[in-house]
Each structure stands twice: as C-alpha cells, then as structure tokens.
Amino acid sequence: MRYNLTQDGEAVEIHVQDAGERAQQVLASLQECQEGRCGCPTDLYDRLASIEVGGGDSELTVHLTPRPGEHLDPGALRACMDYTLESASDTQS
C-alpha cells in the first residue's frame, strides 16, 4: 500500500492506493478515528474538526479538516498513516 498527501489551504487529503484486500481493515481503522477512538501515536486527532473517508478497493480517500486556528503537520499525518496502514497489515496476517 502507498499513499500521498495533498494540502488545500488548511485541509488535507490523503489518497491510499493499492489497498487491495486490506482496504476493509484500513477503512475500519479510519472509522475508529471518525468515532473518536483513534489509535495514532500523535495529538493530531485533537486538532481535527472532521474526518471524511471514501473510496473503494483500489483507492481510499481521507479528507481531514482542522479545527479553526489549527494546522495539520504533514510529518504527524505521515506518522499517523504509517501507523494505521501497519495496523491494518497486522490484522490481516
């Protein structure tokens, strides 16, 4: 699996490609974040106003909107995505 980050103003969009059979595990992990049970090793969740997840097996899209006055650090986002994708891989094995 691979992903890329694009920033549009303060909002960030993450595109996950090649999720394949792990797409459901990745979606489940991201849904936990949407529900406030995010396991990421960063304080990023506290800075978010919303998380929107969409897509299918070939590509997932995550749209992150920060709270007013907050900034989403790309390094922290990468750490969070690496953690989420690794967690999805671990559950698959």
- What structural domains and CATH numbers belong to the chain? 2-92 (3.30.310)
SS3 content of the chain, % helix, strand, coil (to 5): 40, 30, 25
**Does the pLDDT at position 92 exceed 60?**
no
**Does the pLDDT at position 91 exceed 70?**
no
Tokens 């949407």 locate to: 34
Q: What is the pLDDT of residue 87?
A: 81
7-58 pLDDT, tens digit each = 988 899 999 998 878 888 888 888 888 887 888 888 888 889 999 988 876 7
**Does the pLDDT at position 3 exceed 90?**
yes
**Does the pLDDT at position 78 exceed 80?**
yes
